[in-house]
Structure formats: C-alpha cells, structure tokens
Amino acid sequence: MKTVIHDLGKEQNEKILASTDRVVCADGRYAPCQGCFKCWTKHPASCAMKDVLHQACRVLGTSDDLTIITENRYGSYSQAVKNILDRSIATSTPFSTYRKGQMHHTLRYGKRNRLHLIVYGSLTDAEKNTWQLMAERNAINMGFREYSITFCADAEEAGRTA
Amino acid sequence: MMEKTVLINCSPKQKLSVSGFLMKCAGVLIRGKKEYFHLRTPADYPAILQALKGAGKVVFVTPLYVDSIPSHMLPFMQEMEELCRGNGLRLKVYVIANNGFIEGKQNEPLMQVMENFCARSGLTWCGGIGIGGGVMLNVERIMITVMFGLMLLNVLLSAVQGGDVLDAVLSFGKSLLGLVILACGIIAFGIRLAVHINRGTDAGKKYTRIMLPSFVFIAFADIFFIIVSVLQGGIFRGWLSRFQPDAGCSIITENGK
C-alpha cells in the first residue's frame, strides 16, 4: 500500500491520488500527542483522543511506501504533519530491540519498504543537513528499508513532485 | 546584575514528566532571577513571551518525540521567532533534551532543530545536553521518596525498640549512592551546563545517559511496559496485533472512494 501524507491543502488530494493508493491530508484539525502511551498500554494501536487521528498509526503502519510532503520548520516537519507522526508511535510496540546498533521499539507491522520525504519552503544549508539526518533517523525508527529526500522551492513544486 | 533566566518545561504531560523534574533540578543550580513555565497549549504563550522580553537566557527542557521536538512546540517557536526578530531580542538559548531510549546521542536531530530555530530567530545558540534513558529519573525519584519514608519508619522503630538507628540511615545511604551512580553522567553534565548558563557561555552539545548497559535498560523497559499494560488492560486487547484501519477511518482519502 502506498500512502502520501501532505500539508498542501485538501484541494490537492485528487491530484496526488493519481499516483498513490491513499492520501492523508494534514490539515491540523486535531490535537497534539499528550504523551500518555495508552496507544501501547491500554487500547493498542488506537489513540486515547477520539478525533480523526484516532487510528492514524494503523494507516501509517500499513503503508509499505510512505511519502511525506511537509513545509520546512527549522529542519523538521510542519506542526500539522508532526502531529500525525507523534500520534502514530503505535506503529511500533512497547517492546524494545536494537536496530543499526541502537535501541528502538519493535515494529508492530514489520519492516516496510521506503520512506520518501518531500520538503518545501525556505531552507538554509544547515536545515538541509538536519533534514538528511532526520530522514535517516526516521527511517530507522519507523522500520523502512530505504529512504530518500527531495527539496522543493515551494508548495506548488512539492505537489508536482508527489 | 545577572540576567533573568526563563526555564520552559516543554513536555505535553500535565504531571510527573521527566522534563518538569529536570527543569526543577536545573533551576536549583542556576543563579539569579528565574521564571518557570510549562508549555502545553497556546494559552501558555502570552505569559512566556512576556517573560522572554525581560530575560537574557532561556532554557528549553523537552522530551524527544519521533526524533525531534514535540509538535506542540512548533507554533510557539514561530511566535517566539517573530517576537525576537521584531524586538531585536538576543537571548542565549540552552536545551536539555531527554529521550526514552538509552542513547543520549539520539537527541542529535532535536538539538539541530533548536540550533536552526536560533539561527532563524537571531538568537544565540549555546548548546545543551541530550539525555538517554531519561525515564529512569522518574523511577529514581519515586524510589528515593519511598526509601526515605522507609528509612524514617525504621529509624522510629529502632528508636522505640532500642535498636541501632545508624543501621537504617546507612542502609538508605547505600541505596541512595547506587541511584546517584546510575545518574552520575546526568548529574555531572547537568552541573557543567549550569556553570555555562551562569556564565552565559557556550556549553556545546553533550550527550549522556543512565549508567546501565543497554540490554539491562531494555529488560527494565520491557518489564515496565508489561506491568503497565497488564494494569491498564492493553495486554488483553490485541497488545501486539497488526490492526487495520476501520473502513470509516476519516483521515484517509482512497482511490475509488
């Protein structure tokens, strides 16, 4: 299953769907993670908050190929996108293991294929370097075999790249 | 006169957060005027931004969420960027990051994000510390409180029964020493960071951890989550199952639907 998460606005959904199986529009109309870990310990793979991100981890976990389109924020994701990632930690389980020589959580959905980040907006060289590290760390953390990153000048170019 | 330091606990948790505990510990070591804040919602922004106008230094104490800062920090940082650029504020920024994995180095992307934020906002990045296994500090502070209570009880019983009061105190001292040794890296780097904050100098980026072999830490973490999952019932509700999204999962737009 191929999934695209984007913060380009709902009007881009149909266009992006031409090249993927499903689209998640990060519109920011949901709360940030509260750090309760109940998606691990109380009701597995479901968030305690019953808004549209209630089952976000299931969507991400069942995506063999995941593309994330995000505006740059200091070398990290936009808030709308980062909310989704923070509230999807149950793509892994509470158990721990080693990946690439470091401690990580075991993967609820097993290893997945590819993580592709498309980052748009104003970017400094330092922020591009941070993004390279972020992509690498996210791929290890989320259990993707491969990762890649594309930088775009603006949202329009990012939409075309997807 | 020393510049005011603003300390911000950036954990979204209301209580018992490691970041809150670390902020209080740092506050003990930092001299001069200090103000403490908890950043959770936009309602917290005005008071913090107001305090920053009269400060010389700011210390962000934050957990690591998915290799970066928690999402609720981002809109605050954007408002802080506007405030600092608009008013020419030249705050010195320090960061204390902690994560649930044992390696402190896993905080590196978060540190870089904060450094990039400083560059965008015209602030002075002064580094900080990244702590691995920070959750153990919560366990330690609970254990110390319980052990201290038990020691007082033992001392009282020994005094009443004519026993050796010193035995109970020594026993507590030994246990306390063990816990301090586990946290010795965090304590040492914490003191070093506080010295830099007090001098207003660049602390660089330093990474430390709870002094346990990683396989022992992993065993403790697994046992902790098993116990909590039994108590909260998750272990009986498809604890490790590969759940699929419900058909009506409203966040997805799918082909053909």
Count CB pairs under 8 A between chains A and B. Answer: 181
pLDDT of residue B162: 82
pLDDT of residue B167: 86
How much is the ipTM here? 0.97
CA within 13 Å, CB half, B74? 24
pLDDT digits (tens, 9 = 90+) for B121-155: 999 999 999 999 999 998 899 999 999 999 999 99
**Is there a contact between A96 and B229 if contact means CB atoms under 8 Å apart?**
no
The two counts, helices (H) then strands (E), for chain B are 8, 7
Partners of residue B254 in chain A, C-beta under 8 Å: 17, 21-23
pLDDT digits (tens, 9 = 90+) for B82-107: 999 999 999 999 999 999 999 999 99
A143 pLDDT above the threshold of 70: yes
pLDDT of residue B256: 64
Instruction: Report yes or no: A39 and A48 within 8 Å, Cβ to Cβ.
Output: yes
Instruction: Report yes or no: A10 and A25 within 8 Å, Cβ to Cβ.
Output: yes
- Three-class SS state of A51: coil
Average pLDDT over residues B185-213: 98
Classify A101 in phi/psi space as left (phi over 0), alpha (psi -120 to 50) or beta: left
pLDDT of residue A103: 98
**Is there a contact between A74 and B117 if contact means CB atoms under 8 Å apart?**
yes
Q: How far away is chain A from the Cα of B190, in angstroms, using its nearest Cα?
A: 23
pLDDT digits (tens, 9 = 90+) for A68-91: 999 999 999 999 999 999 999 999
CATH code of domain A8-161: 3.40.50.360
B165 pLDDT above the threshold of 90: no
Average pLDDT over residues A97-112: 97
- AA letter at A94: P
Nearest to B240 among A93, A96, A102 (CB): A93
What domains are defined for chain B? 5-136+179-236 (3.40.50.360)
